[in-house]
Structures are given as C-alpha cells and as structure tokens.
Amino acid sequence: MIEELTTGSDTCEAPDCDRTLPDEPSIVFETAAGRQSAYECACGAVTITVSRTESTR
C-alpha cells in the first residue's frame, strides 16, 4: 500500500532516516506504460519510484 507520494526525492522517506538512496535500484520492472524501480536503504526501508516513458506523456 502506498503510504506517501513525493516527487524528486533521492533520499529515504522512512521515519528518522534521511540517507541518500543508491544510484542503482535493487529491482526494476518495465512495461510499455513506464518503469517502476525499488531502492533499498541501509535502514531496511524500500522506496519505489514510478515514471512514465516519453511516448505515454
């Protein structure tokens, strides 16, 4: 379940954590509609990013 939506953040969104997320995601899932990337922080939290491809904008 999505707890919070933010834009342009490259830091962990877990409570009491403000670490920078890794440059490379742990998992990437791509479809014609866009790309979903999962980044795992050293604190154990996972941040998911979602982006659309240029052709679907």
| Structure tokens, 25 | 């995601």
Pairwise CA distance, residues 9 & 33, whole Å: 22
The predicted-structure confidence for 15-43, as pLDDT tens digits, reads as follows: 899 899 888 999 999 988 888 999 999 99
Residue 49 belongs to what domain range?
A: 1-57
Identity of the residue numbered 47: T
**Model pLDDT, residue 56:** 55
2 by Cβ neighbours in 10 Å (0-12 / 13-18 / 19+) ranks as: exposed
Q: What's the confidence (pLDDT) of residue 6?
A: 65
Structure token digits, residue 21:
């997320």
Q: How many domains does the chain have?
A: 1
Residue bearing the bigger pLDDT, 36 or 3: 36
